[in-house]
Amino acid sequence: MHVVIMGCGRVGASLAAALERLGHEVAVIDKNPQAFRRLGTDFHGQQVVGVGFDRKVLIDAGIERASAFAAVSSGDNSNIISARVARENFGVEKVVARIYDHKRAAVYERLGIPTVATVPWTTDRFLRVLLPDGVASAWRDPSGNVALLQLPVDSSWYGHSVSNLQSATGSRVAFIVRVGTCVLPDSKTVLQDGDEVYVAARSGTVSDVTAVAQRAPEEEG
Protein backbone atom coordinates (compact mmCIF):
# COMPACT_ATOMS: atom_id res chain seq x y z
CA MET A 1 0.00 0.00 0.00
CA HIS A 2 0.99 3.65 -0.33
CA VAL A 3 1.81 5.40 2.97
CA VAL A 4 2.45 9.11 3.48
CA ILE A 5 4.57 10.19 6.45
CA MET A 6 4.70 13.79 7.63
CA GLY A 7 7.94 14.49 9.48
CA CYS A 8 11.40 13.14 8.73
CA GLY A 9 12.89 13.16 12.20
CA ARG A 10 14.24 9.98 13.72
CA VAL A 11 10.79 8.47 14.16
CA GLY A 12 9.62 9.38 10.67
CA ALA A 13 12.79 8.10 9.03
CA SER A 14 12.71 4.86 11.02
CA LEU A 15 9.04 4.33 10.19
CA ALA A 16 9.66 4.99 6.49
CA ALA A 17 12.52 2.50 6.39
CA ALA A 18 10.48 -0.16 8.20
CA LEU A 19 7.51 0.25 5.86
CA GLU A 20 9.72 0.08 2.79
CA ARG A 21 11.37 -3.11 4.07
CA LEU A 22 7.89 -4.59 4.33
CA GLY A 23 7.31 -3.83 0.67
CA HIS A 24 5.12 -0.75 0.96
CA GLU A 25 5.41 2.39 -1.13
CA VAL A 26 6.32 5.41 1.00
CA ALA A 27 6.34 9.19 0.59
CA VAL A 28 7.91 11.40 3.27
CA ILE A 29 7.09 15.08 3.78
CA ASP A 30 9.30 17.55 5.66
CA LYS A 31 9.73 21.30 5.44
CA ASN A 32 13.49 20.96 5.90
CA PRO A 33 15.20 19.36 2.86
CA GLN A 34 18.21 18.45 5.02
CA ALA A 35 15.98 16.17 7.11
CA PHE A 36 15.81 13.65 4.28
CA ARG A 37 19.44 12.72 4.95
CA ARG A 38 18.11 10.54 7.76
CA LEU A 39 16.47 8.28 5.20
CA GLY A 40 19.81 7.03 3.91
CA THR A 41 20.82 6.00 0.42
CA ASP A 42 18.74 2.80 0.52
CA PHE A 43 15.44 4.66 0.63
CA HIS A 44 13.63 4.64 -2.72
CA GLY A 45 10.40 6.45 -1.85
CA GLN A 46 9.32 10.04 -2.47
CA GLN A 47 10.81 12.99 -0.65
CA VAL A 48 8.46 15.99 -0.68
CA VAL A 49 9.49 19.37 0.72
CA GLY A 50 6.70 21.31 2.42
CA VAL A 51 4.27 21.30 5.34
CA GLY A 52 2.07 18.29 5.84
CA PHE A 53 -1.23 20.14 5.97
CA ASP A 54 -0.72 21.93 2.64
CA ARG A 55 -3.14 20.45 0.09
CA LYS A 56 -0.74 20.66 -2.85
CA VAL A 57 2.11 19.12 -0.85
CA LEU A 58 -0.12 16.24 0.20
CA ILE A 59 -1.25 15.66 -3.37
CA ASP A 60 2.37 15.69 -4.55
CA ALA A 61 3.05 13.01 -1.94
CA GLY A 62 0.26 10.85 -3.34
CA ILE A 63 -2.29 11.36 -0.58
CA GLU A 64 -5.16 10.72 -3.01
CA ARG A 65 -4.10 7.08 -3.39
CA ALA A 66 -2.72 6.62 0.12
CA SER A 67 -4.08 3.89 2.38
CA ALA A 68 -2.38 5.32 5.48
CA PHE A 69 -1.01 8.60 6.83
CA ALA A 70 1.26 9.17 9.83
CA ALA A 71 1.98 12.61 11.28
CA VAL A 72 5.17 12.31 13.34
CA SER A 73 6.74 15.76 13.28
CA SER A 74 7.92 17.48 16.47
CA GLY A 75 4.86 19.77 16.63
CA ASP A 76 1.52 18.70 18.11
CA ASN A 77 -0.45 21.32 16.18
CA SER A 78 1.11 20.42 12.83
CA ASN A 79 0.55 16.73 13.45
CA ILE A 80 -3.10 16.98 14.36
CA ILE A 81 -3.95 19.45 11.58
CA SER A 82 -2.23 17.25 9.02
CA ALA A 83 -3.98 14.16 10.33
CA ARG A 84 -7.38 15.83 10.15
CA VAL A 85 -6.76 17.05 6.61
CA ALA A 86 -5.73 13.55 5.54
CA ARG A 87 -8.80 12.01 7.16
CA GLU A 88 -11.46 14.62 6.46
CA ASN A 89 -10.36 16.10 3.12
CA PHE A 90 -8.84 13.07 1.45
CA GLY A 91 -10.64 10.23 3.20
CA VAL A 92 -7.50 8.30 4.15
CA GLU A 93 -8.62 5.22 6.05
CA LYS A 94 -5.75 4.75 8.49
CA VAL A 95 -4.48 7.95 10.13
CA VAL A 96 -2.39 8.40 13.26
CA ALA A 97 -0.81 11.45 14.89
CA ARG A 98 2.09 11.70 17.32
CA ILE A 99 1.13 13.93 20.27
CA TYR A 100 3.33 15.02 23.16
CA ASP A 101 0.53 16.48 25.32
CA HIS A 102 -1.46 13.44 26.47
CA LYS A 103 -4.38 15.63 27.62
CA ARG A 104 -4.80 16.98 24.12
CA ALA A 105 -4.37 13.47 22.75
CA ALA A 106 -7.52 12.40 24.59
CA VAL A 107 -9.50 15.17 22.88
CA TYR A 108 -8.29 14.16 19.44
CA GLU A 109 -9.08 10.52 20.13
CA ARG A 110 -12.69 11.55 20.72
CA LEU A 111 -12.63 13.31 17.35
CA GLY A 112 -11.72 10.00 15.74
CA ILE A 113 -8.01 10.65 15.20
CA PRO A 114 -5.89 7.86 16.73
CA THR A 115 -2.91 9.31 18.55
CA VAL A 116 0.34 8.16 20.12
CA ALA A 117 1.00 10.13 23.30
CA THR A 118 4.79 10.06 23.20
CA VAL A 119 5.66 11.23 26.71
CA PRO A 120 3.51 8.75 28.70
CA TRP A 121 4.64 5.81 26.56
CA THR A 122 8.31 6.80 26.91
CA THR A 123 7.93 7.31 30.66
CA ASP A 124 6.43 3.84 31.05
CA ARG A 125 9.29 2.28 29.12
CA PHE A 126 11.85 3.92 31.45
CA LEU A 127 9.88 2.81 34.51
CA ARG A 128 9.80 -0.80 33.31
CA VAL A 129 13.60 -0.72 33.09
CA LEU A 130 14.30 1.21 36.29
CA LEU A 131 11.75 -0.21 38.72
CA PRO A 132 10.88 -3.71 39.98
CA ASP A 133 8.60 -5.86 37.82
CA GLY A 134 4.93 -5.06 38.13
CA VAL A 135 5.28 -1.44 39.20
CA ALA A 136 5.19 0.26 35.79
CA SER A 137 2.34 -0.14 33.32
CA ALA A 138 2.58 -3.02 30.86
CA TRP A 139 0.36 -1.25 28.33
CA ARG A 140 -1.13 2.19 27.88
CA ASP A 141 -3.85 3.23 25.47
CA PRO A 142 -2.60 5.59 22.73
CA SER A 143 -4.30 8.63 24.25
CA GLY A 144 -2.47 8.02 27.52
CA ASN A 145 -5.66 7.91 29.61
CA VAL A 146 -5.64 4.30 30.80
CA ALA A 147 -2.77 2.06 31.87
CA LEU A 148 -2.72 -1.71 32.25
CA LEU A 149 -0.27 -2.95 34.85
CA GLN A 150 0.67 -6.07 36.72
CA LEU A 151 -0.22 -5.12 40.27
CA PRO A 152 1.95 -6.49 43.08
CA VAL A 153 -0.43 -7.21 45.98
CA ASP A 154 0.37 -7.79 49.62
CA SER A 155 -0.11 -11.43 50.67
CA SER A 156 -2.80 -10.31 53.11
CA TRP A 157 -5.09 -9.77 50.11
CA TYR A 158 -5.20 -13.51 49.47
CA GLY A 159 -8.66 -14.73 50.42
CA HIS A 160 -10.25 -11.37 49.62
CA SER A 161 -12.48 -10.84 46.62
CA VAL A 162 -11.62 -8.99 43.43
CA SER A 163 -14.46 -6.60 44.28
CA ASN A 164 -12.73 -5.61 47.53
CA LEU A 165 -9.44 -4.94 45.74
CA GLN A 166 -11.18 -2.84 43.10
CA SER A 167 -13.03 -0.78 45.69
CA ALA A 168 -9.87 -0.13 47.69
CA THR A 169 -7.63 0.80 44.77
CA GLY A 170 -10.10 2.44 42.40
CA SER A 171 -8.81 0.24 39.59
CA ARG A 172 -10.46 -2.52 37.55
CA VAL A 173 -9.07 -6.05 37.62
CA ALA A 174 -8.71 -6.99 33.94
CA PHE A 175 -7.44 -10.57 34.33
CA ILE A 176 -5.51 -12.88 36.63
CA VAL A 177 -2.80 -15.34 35.66
CA ARG A 178 -3.28 -18.35 37.94
CA VAL A 179 -0.99 -21.37 37.70
CA GLY A 180 -0.08 -20.38 34.14
CA THR A 181 -3.69 -19.93 33.03
CA CYS A 182 -5.37 -16.60 32.30
CA VAL A 183 -8.59 -16.13 34.27
CA LEU A 184 -11.22 -13.46 33.58
CA PRO A 185 -12.56 -12.72 37.06
CA ASP A 186 -15.91 -11.47 38.24
CA SER A 187 -16.60 -9.50 41.40
CA LYS A 188 -16.83 -12.71 43.48
CA THR A 189 -13.50 -14.16 42.36
CA VAL A 190 -11.22 -14.65 45.37
CA LEU A 191 -7.52 -13.85 45.16
CA GLN A 192 -5.18 -16.77 45.77
CA ASP A 193 -1.52 -17.15 46.67
CA GLY A 194 0.59 -16.97 43.50
CA ASP A 195 -1.95 -14.98 41.46
CA GLU A 196 -0.52 -12.45 39.01
CA VAL A 197 -3.08 -9.63 39.04
CA TYR A 198 -3.40 -7.25 36.09
CA VAL A 199 -5.49 -4.11 36.54
CA ALA A 200 -6.61 -1.20 34.41
CA ALA A 201 -6.13 2.19 36.07
CA ARG A 202 -6.49 5.84 35.10
CA SER A 203 -3.28 7.65 34.21
CA GLY A 204 -1.88 9.53 37.15
CA THR A 205 -3.21 6.99 39.68
CA VAL A 206 -0.78 4.11 39.07
CA SER A 207 1.46 4.92 42.06
CA ASP A 208 -1.56 5.34 44.36
CA VAL A 209 -3.14 2.07 43.17
CA THR A 210 0.15 0.24 43.72
CA ALA A 211 0.61 1.72 47.20
CA VAL A 212 -2.87 0.60 48.33
CA ALA A 213 -2.39 -2.93 46.96
CA GLN A 214 0.91 -3.33 48.79
CA ARG A 215 -0.74 -2.56 52.14
CA ALA A 216 -2.96 -4.93 54.07
CA PRO A 217 -6.66 -4.43 53.28
CA GLU A 218 -8.64 -2.37 55.78
CA GLU A 219 -11.00 -4.30 57.96
CA GLU A 220 -14.66 -3.73 57.11
CA GLY A 221 -17.01 -2.38 59.71
- Confidence band (pLDDT; 50, 70, 90) for 207? confident
- CA 118 to chain CA centroid, Å, is 7
Asked if the model's pLDDT at residue 134 lies above 50, the reply is: no
Asked whether residue 73 carries a pLDDT value surpassing 50, the answer given is: yes
Task: Name the pTM for this structure.
Answer: 0.60
- Mean of all residue pLDDT scores within the chain: 85
Instruction: Give the domains, in start order, of the chain with CATH numbers.
Output: 2-99 (3.40.50.720), 133-213 (3.30.70.1450)
